[in-house]
Structure 1
Amino acid sequence: MKHPLITKLVALGAVAILLLIGLGQIEDVVRDRQRYRSLTAQSVADSLAGPQTLMGPMIHSACVESWDVETGKGDERRTTEQRREFLLTAMPEQLQVRSSVSMEERARGLHKVNTFNLKAHITAQWGTLASLQAHSTVKGSRLQCGAPIVMVAVGDARGIRTAQVLHGEQALALKPGTFHPTYSRGLHAVLPESVRGQAEPMTLALDLELVGTERLAIVPLGGNTEVKMTGGWPHPSFTGRFLPSERDWGPEGFTAQWRLSSLATTAQQDILNGRRICVGGYDDSPVQYPTDGSSPSTTPRDCADSFSVAFVDPVNPYTLADRATKYGLLFIALTFVAVGLFELMKRLRVHPVQYLLVGSAICSFFLLLVSLSEHLAFGWSYLAAATACVLLLGYYASHMLGSLARGIPLGAGMALLYGLLYVLLQLEQTALAVGSIALFLVLTAVMVLTRKVNWYGLTPAPRNPNVATGAATTPGKDAP
């Protein structure tokens, strides 16, 4: 060939394009598996209960104010009734929640979803119920109010297992629903009319067992709210508008405590204004699980204040596999550079088809990783896939490069790359820094190894046409 180096570079470019197409297909497989996992979580939530939000207890009473208005004159005078409907609400001054959470794993096929069982003891105290006294806004109007109702709202009422409300020593009869115009899911009990407007403090105690999927949120509804939660999940994720003031976790579980004042949260005003509670699908819209495998919880600015605990697995195999696949191009490039260095330094010839086979082996690692991680722990899956690929590449490189002494360093280099990738997958805050430093060290090694290479010597020198024909001319003279 006239320009063998250019021809080979073009062939290697075509190989790289084919490998990029293969990596793209593998990324599509990972995204599909993530989507299946999200559908599994949605299926469990549809069959059991979705992410939960706990709000209450709170007392409300629906009232109607009506009055007569006279219109017309003389014989055409008539009286019409006008009315105004409104809701009286009493928030607790002190709200104390003592809860424990136990975990249970549910599965659909290969995919597993964490569900929880919450057992909570809630104590709510009202200093006065004067806010339940209705006042006329029109002179001579008539006021009529329904019985005071104490309500507890949840994100998904199907998750309520047992509940009991005590008013003093008396157990109140609980019924489904809340009779609240905005937060309709939950339970309620009718209070005696005598509590309306009473000046003495009133205390209610609630025992509640609630199940849900992956996430639990609580609305700090009291003037002072204190929540203490213990659970058997070793790596909880605390999110929402407020982080716990005290927290501790380990292999056996976690303990967290929140202390909030109404001076620091707008939860009471948010509920009075009917703002939706976004965590846990509170606003009567179904919870939509994102297809990237992440949590379904968001807290936009137009939502009521709440805090939450997510019981998700931090080592999501699909998320880690997706992150690993993004390094596929770098792996292929570094491997091609290593083979090219052997080819350059040892005066070897490696065919583009051999480059293609080496790159295909690297691509197969990512497919092995995601498939094995569905059956094994991610660490063991990574070890098995990496070991298989390192052995295969080391064996093939020994024949491709002409000796075992050349194949072993290439295999060792691949093992080092896979080890570095595993470290990067475990890091979150420092992954970029570690990866950048490692890439810089690789570039340094390549530059040091090739510092004495005569790159112009890799291509044939341009031929002098005069020398090639053997002709010679003398200036000023004609050839005979």
Structure 2
Amino acid sequence: MKHPLFVKLAALAAVIVLLLIGLGLIEGVVHDRQRYRSITAQSVADSLAGPQTLMGPMIHSACVETWEVETGKGAELRMVEQRREFMLTAMPEQLRLNTGAAMEERARGLHKVNAFNLKAQVTAQWASLASLQPASTMKNSRMNCGAPIVMMAVGDARGIRTAQLTLGERTLALKPGTFHPAYTRGLHAPLPESLRSNTDGLTATLELELVGTERVSIVPLGGSTEVLMTSGWPHPSFTGRFLPSEREVKADGFSARWRLSSLATTAQADVGSGKPVCISSHGDGASEQAPGRADCADSFTVAFVDPVNPYSLSDRATKYGLLFIALTFVAVGLLELMGQGRHAAPLPVHPVQYLLVGSALCSFFLLLVSLSEHVPFGVAYAMAAAACVLLLGYYASHMLGSLARGIPLGAGVAVLYGLLYVLLQLEQTALAVGAIALFLVLTAVMVLTRKVNWYGLSAAAAPRSALAGSAQGGAA
């Protein structure tokens, strides 16, 4: 064979293509498991309650204005009644929410979903209810308005466990629904008609217990809104239009406080125009998802996230699979190359042996995702890495002809697994750490091969191939 080195490189390229196909199949398995977890989360939400939203309390009243207009002429002259339907809304001047969330883990099979039990004390104050006074738009029109209704909208009404509304010193009987055309899920209580002309202000207090899954959103509906949330969950994610002005996250939970003014948010105008609150849920009203931020009411969200999601971490790990294979193949090639010309030099490594080494590396990712479904991710990672390091170290000792060459390869693979685990734990600096580590590996390879005569390798490979062929003929 004239160019055995190039033939071997072509065979290694084919091996790498096969291993890439295997990595792609493993990545597909990870994505399937992620999809199953999403289906499980949706199943729990369908059976319990989905992500929740708190909006209110606010007071509204449906009105109808009617008037008559003349149509026709002469004998056909007649009066036709026309009407205009509209809604009057009174937003609170002061809105205070004191909430505490207790986590309740729910599981379906292997998959777990973070559910919560939220206990909220909501206090709303109105300076006056002048906005509930209807104004005629036509001369001699007649105005008819329904009784004022105080309402509280939620994302998923199935999550309401208990609720008690106090107006001043009086407790009101709550009923399901809101009688609001845009935010239909929640609860309400009719108010006396006499309150429409109340100029002394009004205070309502709502005690609410609400269950949901994964996250809760709050609409800052007051002229001044203050929200205090506490929970024993140590991994909150604060998203939405507003971050908390104060927050403290500890190992045993978190507390967060928001202070917002209507000068900083368009929530009152958004709710007045019926814009939905955009959260990832299904249903109507306050939990409906809108296409863009401009079409959504202002809100902020607290998500009870799991920072060690085994599927997302496994997915990130598989993206380093090609790098693992390439670096390991380089290490094997270096050990094969550096042993040439010495006594008891290692046997030439066959492409099939490269394929087996790469297959062992690929199996690590499959072991990782399967074990992480049963044990914590760190334990699963250690078990899968230890199994692969021991296997590769044992196999490399025979493949390279001595234990002294197999152990360094196993140690190098162990270092790679350690580096990968560090990268998986990092978020902001993962790219920088990975780039520096790759540069150091490249530096080491260049230093170790600085005196290699690459042109001489092809010439030296031919006699070895011929010698191997004659040895096989003699054995025959």
TM-score by length of 1: 0.93
Q: For residue 418 of structure 1, what is the amino acid of its counterpart?
A: Y
**Aligned 1:160-179 pairs, distance under 5 A:** 160-179=160-179
Letter in 2 for 1:226: E
1:269-418 mapped onto 2 (5 Å cutoff): 269-281=269-281, 284=284, 300-347=293-340, 348=346, 349-418=348-417
Equivalent in the alignment of 1:477: none
Query: Would you say 1:99 and 2:111 are equivalent positions?
Result: no
Partner of 2:466 in structure 1?
A: none
Residue-by-residue CA offset, 1:156-201 (whole Å, 9 max, x unaligned): 0000000010011111111000000100000000011111031111
Deviation string 1:237-292 (CA, Å, 9 cap, x unpaired) is 0000000000001111100000000000000000011111112537618989xxxx
Equivalent residue for 2:473? Answer: none
Aligned AA for 1:28? G
Q: Helix, strand or coil: the match of 1:270? A: helix
Whether the 8 Å CA contact 1:239–1:308 is kept in 2: the answer is: yes
Residue 29 (structure 2) pairs with residue 36 (structure 1): no
**Partners of 1:346 and 1:113 in 2: CA distance:** 54
1:83 maps to 2:76: no
Aligned to 1:466: none
Amino acid at match of 2:373: E
- CA apart distance, 1:460: 2.4
Instruction: Write the letter of the residue equivalent to 2:136.
Output: S
Secondary structure at the counterpart of residue 217 of structure 1:
strand
CA distance in 1, matches of 2:291, 2:256: 21
Mapped contact 2:154–2:286 kept (Cα < 8 A) = no
Please give the per-residue CA displacement for 1:350-385, whole angstroms capped at 9, x wherever unaligned.
011100000000000000000000000000000000
Distance in 2 between the 1:346 and 1:280 partners? 59
The letter for the 2-side match of 1:138 is M
Over the matched positions of the two proteins, sequence identity in percent amounts to 76
Q: What is the one-letter code of the residue matched to 2:308? A: V
**Which whole-Å CA distance do the structure 2 matches of 1:241 and 1:315 have between them?**
26
Question: For residues 392-439 of structure 1, what are the alpha-carbon distances to aligned partners after superposition, in whole Å with 9 as ceiling and x for unaligned?
Answer: 101111111111111111011001000000000000000000000000
Inter-partner Cα distance in structure 1 for 2:268 and 2:358: 60
Partner Cα separation in structure 1 for residue 85 and residue 286 of structure 2: 29
Aligned residue identity for 1:201: G
Q: Distance in 2 between matches of 1:448 and 1:388?
A: 31
- Partner of 1:313, secondary structure, is coil
Give yes or no for contact 1:116–1:211 (8 Å, CA) kept in 2: yes
Give the equivalent residue in structure 2 for 1:472.
none
Q: Which runs of structure 1 show a deviation greater than 2 angstroms over 4 or more consecutive aligned residues? A: 280-283, 285-288, 296-301
Question: What amino acid is the match of 1:245?
Answer: S
1:318 partner letter: Y
Aligned equivalents of 2:167 and 2:276: distance in 1? 29
Q: Which structure is higher in helix share?
A: 2
SS in 2 for 1:264: coil
Q: Distance in 2 between matches of 1:446 and 1:297?
A: 53
Distance 1:376 1:217 in 2: 32
Distance 2:87 2:30 in 1: 51
Kindly state the Cα deviation for residue 137 of structure 1 after the two structures are TM-superposed.
0.3
Please give the alpha-carbon distance, in whole angstroms, between the structure 2 residues aligned to 1:402 and 1:287.
Answer: 65
Q: Does 1:422 align with 2:415?
A: no
Q: Where does residue 201 of structure 2 map in the other structure? A: 201
Aligned to 2:447: 448
Partner of 2:471: none
How many equivalent pairs are there?
Answer: 455
Q: Unpaired segments of 5 or more residues in structure 2? A: 341-345, 463-476
| Match runs of 1:142-153 below 5 Å | 142-153=142-153
1:413 counterpart letter in structure 2: G
Q: RMSD in angstroms over aligned alpha carbons? A: 1.6
Gaps of 5+ in 1: 289-295, 464-480
Alignment partner of 2:67: what SS?
A: strand
Q: Which secondary structure does the structure 2 equivalent of 1:221 belong to?
A: coil
What amino acid does structure 2 have at the position aligned with 1:455? W
Please give the secondary structure, in 2, of the residue aligned with 1:460.
helix
Mapping for residues 179-198 of structure 1, pairs under 5 Å: 179-198=179-198
